[in-house]
Chains A and B, each alone.
Chain A
Amino acid sequence: MLLLVEQLLNGLQLGVFLFLVSAGLTLIFGIMGVINLAHGSLYMIGAYTGATVTQASGSYLLGFLAAACAAGLSGVVMELLLMRRLYARDHLDQVLVTFGLIVFVNEAVTMIWGRTPLFMDIPQALSGSVEILPGVPYPVYRLAIILAGIVAAVGLWLLIARTRIGMLIRAGSTNREMVSGLGVNISRLYTLLFAAGAVLAGVAGAFAGPQVSVQVGMGESILILAFVVVVIGGIGSVRGAFVGALLVGLVDTLGRAFLHDLLGLFLPPAEAAGMGAALSSMGIYVVMALVLIVRPRGLFSVRPAS
Chain B
Amino acid sequence: MYKTLIRLTTVLALATASAAPVFSQEPVRIGLITTLSGPPGYLGEDMRDGFNLAIDSGDGKLGGIPVELLVEDDGLNPGNAKQIAERMVRRDNAEILTGIIFSNVQMVVAPVALMNDRFYVSSNAGPSPMAGARCHENYFVSSWQNDAMHETAGIAANDAGYGKAVIMVPNYRAGKDAVAGFKRYFEGEIVDEIYTKLGQSDYAAEIARIRSVEPDMVFYFLPGGMSINFLKQYDQAGLIDEIPIIAPMVSMEARILSGVGEAALDMRATSFWNADLDNDANREFVDEYRAAYDREPTPWAAQGYDAARLIASALQTSGGKVTEDPEAFRAALREADFEAVRGSFEFQSNQHPVQSWYLLEVQKNDDGELHLATIDTIVSEHGDPYVDDCNLSR
Binding site for B on A (CB under 8 A): 3, 6-7, 10-11, 13-14, 17, 106-107, 110, 114-119, 121-122, 127-129, 137, 139, 141-142, 208, 210-218, 221-222, 252-254, 256-257, 260, 269-270, 273-274, 276-278, 280-281
Q: Which 10 A-B pairs have the closest CB atoms?
A: A277-B195, A117-B259, A213-B228, A213-B225, A115-B42, A277-B171, A10-B204, A217-B39, A139-B236, A257-B205
B41: nearest residue on chain A (CB-CB)? Answer: A115
A214, A221, A274 interface centre (most CB from chain B within 10 Å): A221
**Least distance between B214 CB and chain A CB atoms (Å):** 11
B70 contacts partner chain A, Cβ-Cβ < 8 Å: no
Q: Are A216 and B38 in contact, with the CB atoms below 8 A? A: yes
Residues B205 and A10 in contact, CB atoms below 8 Å apart: yes
Instruction: Tell me what chain A mostly uses at the interface: helix, strand, loop, or mixed.
Output: helix
B residues 155-195 touching A (CB-CB < 8 Å): 171, 176, 193-195
Q: Is the CB of B228 within 8 A of A137?
A: no
Q: Which residues of B contact A13 (CB under 8 A)?
A: 204
Inter-subunit contact A129/B228 (CB<8 Å):
no
Contact of B228 with A253 in the complex, beta carbons under 8 Å: no
- Across the two chains, which residue of chain A brings its CB closest to B46? A115
When distances are taken between beta carbons in the complex, the residues of chain A under 8 Å from B201 are: 208, 211-213, 218, 221-222
Does B196 sit within 8 A of A, measured CB to CB? yes
Given contacts A3-B212, A107-B37, A217-B38, contact A274 B259 (CB under 8 A): no
A22 CB to nearest chain B CB (Å): 15
Q: Which residue on B lies nearest to A217, using beta carbons? A: B39
- Complex contact B259–A257 (CB within 8 A): no
Chain B residue numbers with a CB within 8 Å of A128 are 238
A129 and B236 form a contact (CB under 8 A): yes
Q: Is the CB of B228 within 8 A of A212?
A: yes
Extra pairs beyond A7-B205, A213-B227, A215-B225 (10, CB < 8 Å): A7-B208, A107-B37, A110-B41, A117-B228, A118-B259, A119-B259, A121-B261, A213-B228, A218-B201, A260-B195
Interface residues of B in 224-262 (CB under 8 A from A): 224-229, 232-233, 236-238, 255-256, 258-262
Bound form: Cα–Cα A164–B41 in Å: 47
Indicate if the CB atoms of A216 and B39 lie closer than 8 Å.
yes
Does B236 lie within 8 Å of A127, measured CB to CB? yes
